[in-house]
Amino acid sequence: MTPAEMESRIVRYGDLKPCKTAFIDAHTPGSDQKENFTVIGGGVSESPDQHVHIKETPGFNIGAAGQPPKCRNSLHSHRTAEVFFVLHGRWRFFWGRWGNAGEVILEEGDIFNIPTGIFRGFENIGTDYGMIMAILGGDDAGGGVIWAPQVIEDARDHGLVLAETGRLYDTKRGEHLPEGVQPMPLLDDEALKSFAEPTTADVIPHYVARYWDLVALSDSQPADVIGPNALLRDRPGFEVDFITRNSLPSDQVTVDQHEVLMPVKGHWRLEWPGGSTVLNPGDTCAVPPGLPHSLVPSMTGEASLYRVRNTNDPAGATLAA
């Protein structure tokens, strides 16, 4: 593989192209300044304006959300995995039908495997623009987003209508639902009963891993973060581990899985037969199956990254805790 071919499989943080109209709450006050990024795969954006950086999916999707302080993402749910780690800033995640069943504060490097079947939202509670990176289960990322009814109602008051097809229409632009297409129906009371309301105490021990705990666990080998026998036990169609300079394999490795590298701290030199490049925090690199490669921190100091590999497990509901 030539350096140019590898570069086509890397999305640089500085080259990310945001969409500010990706979801139904794009005009709702408090959520109208967020930016959505689709890095690998089609993601779950409801807007035709969304730019997709790498269309090939390895059995999962990679996305990101960037938000200024006090900006929030509205309550929604997914049918497959939604995993976030904090790249920049300080974030509050909250969940439940009205967002008051529980919450957790995440700092840089922390990771959250949000259980399926609950409404969840998040907001930047830091002082600067923040960024969270996302891993979504399945090639089609679960088929889209399920919104809490009040989110759809609030959006309609601000000019955005979601069609039953999952496509978003902006009446402020003069757009209207096509003939024969109905608005996305609201979940009724009976359907809402199926969405769980776990407490903070139910969620944090089983679905949240702290950055500095992972640093300690990866002192001599990569820390298993998400997997059937990992710190966060799950089988979402992919596995996640955490690597520091102390837990690197000494030689090149070759695996038959798709591998996505996502640096958190430091600068990493990726080497393979035919070339090398440096990966920086916020970059996303899709290493193809069968390619021998190695990683070496290119500078002294703190260095860490998340590594995601596809598995044969079907994307679906989160394993019970």
Condensed to tens digits (0 to 9), the pLDDT of residues 187-219 reads 999 999 999 999 999 999 999 999 999 999 999
Whether the predicted pLDDT of 286 surpasses 80: yes
Same domain, 26 and 167: yes
Same domain, 69 and 162: yes
CATH of the domain at 185: 2.60.120.10
Q: Which amino acid is located at 291 in the chain?
A: L
Which of 208, 235, 268 represents a domain boundary (last residue)?
208
Q: Which amino acid is located at 155 in the chain?
A: A
Average pLDDT, the chain: 95
Q: Kindly state the percentage of the chain with pLDDT values over 90.
A: 89
Enumerate residues 6+ apart whose C-beta is below 8 A from 40.
11, 53, 54, 56, 57, 58, 60, 61, 62, 260, 284, 286
Same domain, 119 and 169: yes
CA distances from 294 to 190, 251, 275, 287 (A): 52, 7, 11, 11
Structure tokens at 17: 């192209």
Please tell me the distance from the alpha carbon of residue 172 to that of residue 113, in angstroms, as a whole number: 36
Q: Which of the four pLDDT bands, split at 50, 70 and 90, describes residue 141?
A: confident
Amino acid 44: pLDDT: 82
Same domain, 277 and 218: yes
Same domain, 218 and 177: no
Structural domain range at position 282: 212-310
The answer to whether 31 touches 39, Cβ cutoff 8 Å, is: no
CA distances from 296 to 190, 223, 246, 288 (A): 53, 17, 10, 18
Q: Kindly state the percentage of the chain with pLDDT values over 70.
A: 100
Please tell me the distance from the alpha carbon of residue 303 to that of residue 246, in angstroms, as a whole number: 9
Domain assignment of residue 10, yes or no: no
Which of 155, 190, 208 represents a domain boundary (last residue)?
208
Q: How many domains does the chain have?
A: 2
**Mean pLDDT of the 162-184 span:** 92
Enumerate residues 6+ apart whose C-beta is below 8 A from 180.
none
Q: What is the pLDDT of residues 42-98, one digit of tens each?
A: 888 888 889 999 999 999 999 999 999 999 999 999 999 999 999 999 999 999 999
Domain assignment of residue 86, yes or no: yes
